[in-house]
Amino acid sequence: MSNVVPVVGAVAIAALLPSYLGVRRARFITDNQSLALGQRIDVLNEHAIVNVVDRSTNLTEVNDRFLEATGYSREELIGTSVHNLYCDENQKLAPTIHLLLSMGKSWSGETPIRRKDGSVFYTHTTVRPIYDLKGNWIGSISARTDVTQTHELLAARDIAQVTDEMKDDIWIVDCDMMAATYMNKVALGRLGLRRAAEQLIPLSQLKGVDGVGSILATCRDMRSTGADNAQFETEYCGKPFHIGVTRLKAGTLKGRFMIVMADMTKRVSEEQRKSDFISTVSHELRSPLTSIKGAMGLLLSRAAGELPDKAVSMLEIAHRNADRLVLIINDILDLEKIAAGRMEFDRQVVNISDLITETKNANATMQQRFAVKVESNSDDTPIWINTDPNRIIQVLNNFLSNACKFSKPGSTVRIVIEDQGDSVRVAVKDQGTGIPIKDQHKVFERFADMENSNRSAKGGTGLGLSICKAIVEGLGGNIGFETTEGIGATFYFVLPKTEANMESTPADNVVKMRSAS
């Protein structure tokens, strides 16, 4: 291929192409050579995506196929730089192409083009320089062929080669037919199937396999709701699996789900061993730590006589940290119980107002430490509920300690009780910094690490709220929060009241509960 277009040919292209690109502006050509050239340009115009730019890379002409491919109108494109249509990776190529054209050389290669709607299509492009009658370089002409489908087919082939060797089970499922159009080697082997070209495997035919019913139900739900992703854990082929379903939105696989199934047998076994180890260590630590804490408490109470002020100060620091260690160990043990489904509840008929008073008194030191005031709207009217008082105090302690930690000094923390008839709502409202929007989704997750948590200064393991959630839900209630960043947060739980006769005395209710058990 010649590096430089002959001057006469370049002039003809430069002069005739704009005319032939605009059908309404087409001129009658009498010269046989020009007519032949014009006919070749017509063919090019019909089968290729063509554009002309000036030396500054501004578009001076585009054909109809260029408009169809990009989604722009001619008015939106003419006078703008062609580089605006290039993807980021092509911006680095632009100076190289420009330099070659200025030297009278052509360039050929693949260029992704960004459409008006933001999507991308791939073109194989040839760019050649254009000259005027004096041989001056005045711009360039580009002819492009859309190779998007070829690009996607090659990508799909490469993906299939990769997924075939993966250890996870991978399915591609047609959204409309609810049939697997592809399964990798591992998936086929687990089901005892052989690969067959273009074979469709309806998911309904696999419903006898453990876990497939859940996969089918998830796919149907995503199809009806339009959801893009779903994740869950289930028993599949007799083993614990993590299932991830993703809607494929682009390319030749559009309108299909990709299902990735990861065998969790090893992970579950490892987590169980880790849980057993943590539980054993925590139990072994709690007894001596309780003894150490008790001994320090006796010393602080002057049971062994008066102590120097400096010794008392050091003992108080040690005692506080022993308290903290005990709380951390209790959290870890509670977490282990929750994970194993062994959290037990000692239900009693209690006055929720009494539990709130007890919690306020227990957190008096916390209020002094963070310079906050705790108020409650509870009065002498009892609100009886059938619940586990120790666990509810645990939840309230967590809510109240968090509220004190994150409140501004001198502010007020309010505990609000609301009798809702068949249930009771308890809320703890602070005047702190609130919870950032990006962190709100993980508030009740284990080991949640918030942007403003600062555990080193304020303490905590990141387990408290996840444990509170398990406790409240285990008692038949629900838990939640309301927050405005920069203003504060309100954490609340709602619990059902006792089913016992509320007109009888609390003692009678307790007797009735015990006799019925």
β 412-419/373-376 pair status: parallel
Domain of 171: which CATH number?
3.30.450.20
Are residue 253 and residue 296 in the same domain, yes or no? no
pLDDT at 11: 38
Q: How far is CA 358 from CA 350, 378, 399, in A?
A: 12, 12, 14
Domain that holds residue 60: 7-145
177 falls within a domain: yes
pLDDT at 103: 87
Q: How far is CA 242 from CA 178, 190, 434, in A?
A: 20, 15, 34
1 falls within a domain: no
Q: Which residues contact 101 (CB under 8 A, 6 or more apart)?
A: 107, 127, 128, 129, 137, 140
Are residue 380 and residue 296 in the same domain, yes or no? no
Are residue 225 and residue 285 in the same domain, yes or no? no
Rama region for 48: left / alpha / beta (φ>0; ψ in -120 to 50; rest):
beta
pLDDT at 306: 87
Q: What are phi and psi of 98, to 5 degrees?
A: -60, -40
What gap in Å lies between CA 211 and CA 263, rounded to an integer? 12
Are residue 83 and residue 177 in the same domain, yes or no? no
Q: If residue 45 lies in a helix (H) or strand (E), which one and from where to where?
A: helix 32-47
Q: 145, 160, 189 — which closes off a domain?
A: 145
Are residue 200 and residue 249 in the same domain, yes or no? yes
Are residue 472 and residue 377 in the same domain, yes or no? yes
Nearest-10 Cα torsion for 15, 19, 21, 22? 150
510 falls within a domain: no
Residue type, 237: C
Q: How far is CA 356 from CA 392, 393, 396, in A?
A: 9, 8, 7
198 token code pair: 């273009």
Are residue 368 and residue 291 in the same domain, yes or no? no
What gap in Å lies between CA 54 and CA 477, rounded to an integer? 71
pLDDT at 36: 53
Q: 315, 340, 365 — which closes off a domain?
A: 340
Per-residue pLDDT of the chain (517 residues; tens, 9 = 90+): 343 333 334 334 444 444 444 433 333 334 454 555 455 556 666 778 888 999 888 999 898 889 998 999 999 999 999 888 887 666 677 788 888 888 888 888 888 888 898 888 888 888 999 888 888 888 898 888 887 776 665 555 655 666 666 788 888 888 888 988 888 888 888 888 876 655 788 888 888 888 898 899 899 888 888 888 888 888 898 888 888 898 887 555 567 898 998 888 877 777 677 767 777 777 777 788 888 888 888 888 888 888 888 888 888 888 878 877 877 777 777 777 776 667 788 899 999 999 998 888 888 888 888 889 999 887 778 899 999 998 899 899 999 988 998 888 889 999 999 999 899 999 999 988 888 888 888 888 776 666 655 544 555 556 788 889 888 988 999 999 998 888 889 999 999 986 433 433 444 443 333 333 3
511 falls within a domain: no
pLDDT at 1: 39
47 falls within a domain: yes
Are residue 162 and residue 254 in the same domain, yes or no? yes
Domain of 388: which CATH number?
3.30.565.10
Counting the structural domains of the chain, the total is 4
Q: 313, 340, 367 — which closes off a domain?
A: 340
pLDDT at 78: 93
Are residue 49 and residue 81 in the same domain, yes or no? yes
Q: Which residues contact 188 (CB under 8 A, 6 or more apart)?
A: 194, 195
514 falls within a domain: no
pLDDT at 381: 82
512 falls within a domain: no
Are residue 384 and residue 428 in the same domain, yes or no? yes
Are residue 159 and residue 68 in the same domain, yes or no? no
Domain of 300: which CATH number?
1.10.287.130
What residues are paired with 413 via a beta bridge? 374
189 token code pair: 């082997």
pTM metric for this prediction: 0.43
507 falls within a domain: no
Are residue 19 and residue 138 in the same domain, yes or no? yes
